[in-house]
Amino acid sequence: MDPQPHENLAALIGRLAALIDRQLSPGDVAALRRSRPDSIDAPAFWRIAAVELADSLEPGGPRRDEGERRWAVILQAMAELRGLHNPRRSLGAALVDAEVAEHRVLRLLRASADGLFDAVRIIAHHLATKGVSFNCTDLAWLVLSDERSDGESVRRGIARNYYSTQSSREARTAS
């Protein structure tokens, strides 16, 4: 995984988290939470796409449409997770902290396309309900890398973080 795009994505996710946390109205955040990738009807999404995502999206055509679908999933999750972006905590570790069942983690890591979008929505809701913060860049990278050559590497990174955190927790409990 090339670190430069990941650093750029991390900076963008940080800006988006701050925007959702501090600048959007409660109504706009609620509209983002309700949005779905196949019917993006939240004006807040389109304002964010026009300003913040302009450099991240293709100029037009089917690739632009797919990019908008992916970003709709990411923004929906971030709206659900409002106030829980923590650049120092991995998604894998957060899944352990939130006591997400292993089969749900595996479902997230194995899913692709619309199945991934659904799995992200479910995981985001679970993490938000538990109030567990994590680096939303990990989730964005997972969604954006789906069906790309770096997708497997992203999934393996999340799995490594999940299982190493789980093993560490079990070792502390056993002591």
Give tens-digit pLDDT for 64-109: 999 999 999 999 999 999 999 999 999 999 999 999 999 999 999 9
Q: Which two tokens stand for residue 80?
A: 């659900």
CATH number at residue 24: 1.10.520.40
Work out the angle at residue 36's Cα, subtended by the Cα atoms of residues 130 and 25, and round it to the nearest 5 degrees. Answer: 65
Instruction: Residue 18: give the domain boundaries.
Output: 3-174
Is residue 86 within 8 Å of residue 131, measured between CB atoms?
A: no
What are the pLDDT digits (tens) for 109-155?
999 999 999 999 999 999 999 999 999 999 999 999 999 999 999 99
The domain total for the chain is 1
Backbone CA torsion sign across 97, 120, 15, 7 = positive
Q: How far apart are CA 109 and CA 151, in angstroms?
A: 10
Q: At 93, is the secondary structure helix, strand, or coil?
A: helix
Please state the pTM of the whole predicted model: 0.93
Angle between helix axes 62-80 and 43-51 (nearest 10 degrees) is: 110
Predicted confidence band at 2 (pLDDT cuts at 50, 70, 90)? very low
Cβ partners under 8 Å of residue 124, min gap 6: 76, 77, 78, 80, 81, 139
Q: What is the pLDDT of residue 4?
A: 54
Q: What is the pLDDT of residue 159?
A: 98
What are the pLDDT digits (tens) for 44-59?
999 999 999 998 899 8
More confident residue, 5 or 106: 106
Mean pLDDT, rounded, for 154-163: 98
Q: What is the dihedral of CA 91, 118, 85, 26, to 10 degrees?
A: -170
Q: How far apart are CA 64 and CA 128, in angstroms?
A: 29
List beta partners, residue 134: 85
Residue 1 to residues 78, 135, 157: CA-CA distances in angstroms? 23, 17, 10
Q: How far apart are CA 151 and CA 100, in angstroms?
A: 22
Other beta carbons less than 10 A from residue 41's beta carbon: 11
